[in-house]
Amino acid sequence: MSAWIDTHVHLDEFIHHGGAGHADAERRRAAQAGVAHCVLPAVERANFDAVRELAQRHGDSYALGIHPLFTRHAGDEDLQALVDELAQRADDPRLVAVGEIGLDYFDKTLDDERQQHIWREQLRLARRHDLPVIVHSRRSVDQVLKGLRELPVRGGIAHAFNGSEQQAGILIDMGFKLGFGGAATFERAHQIRRLAASVPLAAIVVETDAPDIPPHWLYVTAAEREAGTPPARNSPAELPRIGAVIAELRGMAADELARASRDNACAALPRLAALLA
């Protein structure tokens, strides 16, 4: 069985859905499916402790940051909490990145000035601690690239990448790997599937974003939801099957993709390489 790395899973969200036992059960199920390691990014000050504790309990790793969707409630005190937490955990080998951070222009209710401010301050923190970043760039790749040019960091992962081939090339040149997950399993996701098939193998990492971005075999349609079917929740246990779809798009064996993604994740997140050595 291949040993997969899920480079982006919000395992703490399963606590909200079913308690701590549910999160632990999902992680065990993923391990049984062949997921050897998970990277758990924070999204707000309130879950800094949860991602760290889950990573320690399951032998995984974590990132600390403020997600752009959470900037609507975040202020300077939240940034200061991140400053303090990064300083306190500076020597924690399981802290592998600043993330999930970035910009989101899909959600029109966000205050642009606020999310830009928090994004740039977090880039400065990544530079201060010489940490890579895990980047959210929904409908915002050009703006994210602008920030990375002005405040360059030591690379990282462009999570759930859905930009152009040119943007992909720029990120790769900046030292970033590109995250592909459940969206690549949908036949109608033409651009994502083209990118998953064509970008250099050395640039790919695989992820679930669980419990979000379910693959096509879990997807619940709007009509089904209206009829009473609950929305689908993704799981890190789905990663090997998602990875197999991406491998098929590339015309390669799933085992080969698992090994390459592991190597790429370690290149993007140097502390992860030390953990897995």
Per-residue pLDDT tens over the stretch 189-207: 999 999 999 999 999 999 9
Q: For residue 17, what pLDDT is reported?
A: 87
Question: How large is the average pLDDT for residues 36-53?
Answer: 98
Question: How large is the average pLDDT for residues 115-142?
Answer: 98
Alpha-carbon distance 167 to 114, whole Å? 24
Portion of the chain with pLDDT greater than 70, in percent: 100
Neighbour order of strands in the sheet with 4-6: 4-6, 35-41, 61-64, 95-104, 133-138, 156-158, 176-180, 204-206
Beta bridge partners of 101: 135
CA dist 115 → 57, 69, 74, 130, 138 (Å): 32, 8, 9, 22, 13
Half-sphere exposure of 246 (CA within 13 A, CB side): 32
Alpha-carbon distance 187 to 197, whole Å? 13
Q: Which amino acid is at 120?
A: R
Statement: residue 2 has pLDDT above 80: no
pLDDT tens digits along 155-173? 999 999 999 999 999 999 9
Q: For residue 270, what pLDDT is reported?
A: 98
User: What predicted TM-score, i.e. pTM, was given to this entire model?
Assistant: 0.97
Question: Which run of H or E residues covers position 243?
Answer: helix 239-250
Q: For residue 18, what pLDDT is reported?
A: 87
Alpha-carbon distance 266 to 277, whole Å? 10
Statement: residue 30 has pLDDT above 70: yes
Nearest to 49 by CA among 93, 1, 100, 85: 85
Q: How confident is the model at residue 1 (pLDDT cuts 50, 70, 90)?
A: low
3-state helix, strand, coil in the chain (%, to 5): 50, 15, 35
Alpha-carbon distance 42 to 166, whole Å? 29
Q: For residue 261, what pLDDT is reported?
A: 98
Q: Which amino acid is at 13?
A: E
For 170, the token pair is 């720029």
Alpha-carbon distance 32 to 86, whole Å? 32
Question: How large is the average pLDDT for residues 209-215?
Answer: 98
Alpha-carbon distance 201 to 255, whole Å? 13
pLDDT tens digits along 70-94? 999 999 999 999 999 999 999 999 9
Statement: residue 56 has pLDDT above 80: yes
Q: Which amino acid is at 243?
A: G
For 242, the token pair is 């998602």
Question: How large is the average pLDDT for residues 218-226?
Answer: 92
